[in-house]
Structure 1
Amino acid sequence: MTAPKTQKRGRAIAMTGQELDAFLAEQRTCRVATTGTHGPHATPLWFHWDGTSLWLTSLTRAQRWKDLEQDPRMAVVVDAGHEYGELRGAELRGRVEPVGEIPRTGEPNAELDKVEQAFADKYTGGQVANDGRHGWLRLRPEKINSWDFRKIPAS
């Protein structure tokens, strides 16, 4: 796996690797953009960041899943803040790949054990749920852009 491309613009307000990991660990919702035959499609999802990959669980009959079968490229935005000086976020871009059986029914899969437990700890009180309707997608970012407006010097 290659490291994501280095951010060229806005480096003065970019998050460090540690800041990005902490930010993605605390945020709960991302916005996922795919492209299908009818154009762009954006939807909110829950996610898990493991330090190198963004993990998403998606209904396998959703438009997003159909789009990704045709074109595996995805852009994801996670952002926070209300006032201008507190805005921060990250955009992650790359190709996704399904992991595990589709849809996920809970067959043993060492690659998903930690991911599913971390996701369950974050969102469902620790209970791993495989409903036979969702599947796991892994985004290994090829490009990450981040921003933290709190780093902008006060004038």
Structure 2
Amino acid sequence: MAGGKRDKIRMSPEEVADFLASSFKVQVATVGKDGGPHLVTMFYALLDGKIAFTTYRTSQKVLNLRRDPAMTCLVEDGVEYGELRGVALHGKGRVVEDIEELMKIGSVVGSRMAGLPVPEVGEPIDPALADGIRQAMSKRVLVVMEPDRIASWDHRKA
């Protein structure tokens, strides 16, 4: 259906980037040991334009990614059908253990969860908050979504 409704509601790459930058919750699916999906919602920030989140290094999603890096992420918005928009990213979840990379995302997500002003990724934060986040990150890893296929829709365009 070339030139059909699907093409009309697809977001441009710039719209996808803006939409992902304006959101902070992502639904993450990994492949469980039994081959079925393991689905969770996570708070995220963008690291070099890619969805990134921290999680406990012994979490089920990390165990799944270490066994099979396949991962799908969904960020969506809207209530009524004509308002629905979203981005589905299909690819691989890269597990990162570097504390400085963890701190970049942990500072953004931690500030948001604590109800504090949210810094830009990599921006310095209050040293007392940084110490608490560094301690929390000691048990965590960073997961970065490395997409190889992206689908998007914005029904407000229809």
TM-score relative to the length of structure 1: 0.77
Structure with greater proportional helix content: 2
State the partner residue of 1:4: none
State the partner residue of 2:126: none
**Letter of the structure 1 residue corresponding to residue 21 of structure 2:** A
1:66-118 CA deviation, whole Å, 9 max, x = no partner?
A: 111110010010101000100000001111111234xxxxx4x3x45544444
Q: Offset at 1:49?
A: 2.2
Q: Which of 134, 144, 152 is residue 150 of structure 2 equivalent to?
A: 144
Q: Which runs of 5+ in 2 are unaligned?
A: 119-128
Q: Which of 62, 68, 73 is residue 71 of structure 1 equivalent to?
A: 68
Moved more, 68-77 or 49-58: 49-58
State the partner residue of 2:27: 31
Q: Offset at 1:20?
A: 1.4
Q: Offset at 1:12?
A: 1.8
Give the match's secondary structure for 2:24. coil
State the partner residue of 2:139: 133
Residues 53 and 105 in structure 2, CA contact (< 8 A), matched pair in contact too: no
Q: How does 1:5-84 map to 2 (within 5 A)?
A: 10-38=6-34, 39-50=36-47, 52-84=49-81
TM-score relative to the length of structure 2: 0.76
Give the match's secondary structure for 2:74. strand
User: How many residues of Structure 1 are paired with residues of Structure 2 in the alignment?
Assistant: 137
Identity of counterpart residues, as a percentage?
Answer: 30
Give the match's secondary structure for 2:58. coil
**Letter of the structure 1 residue corresponding to residue 16 of structure 2:** L
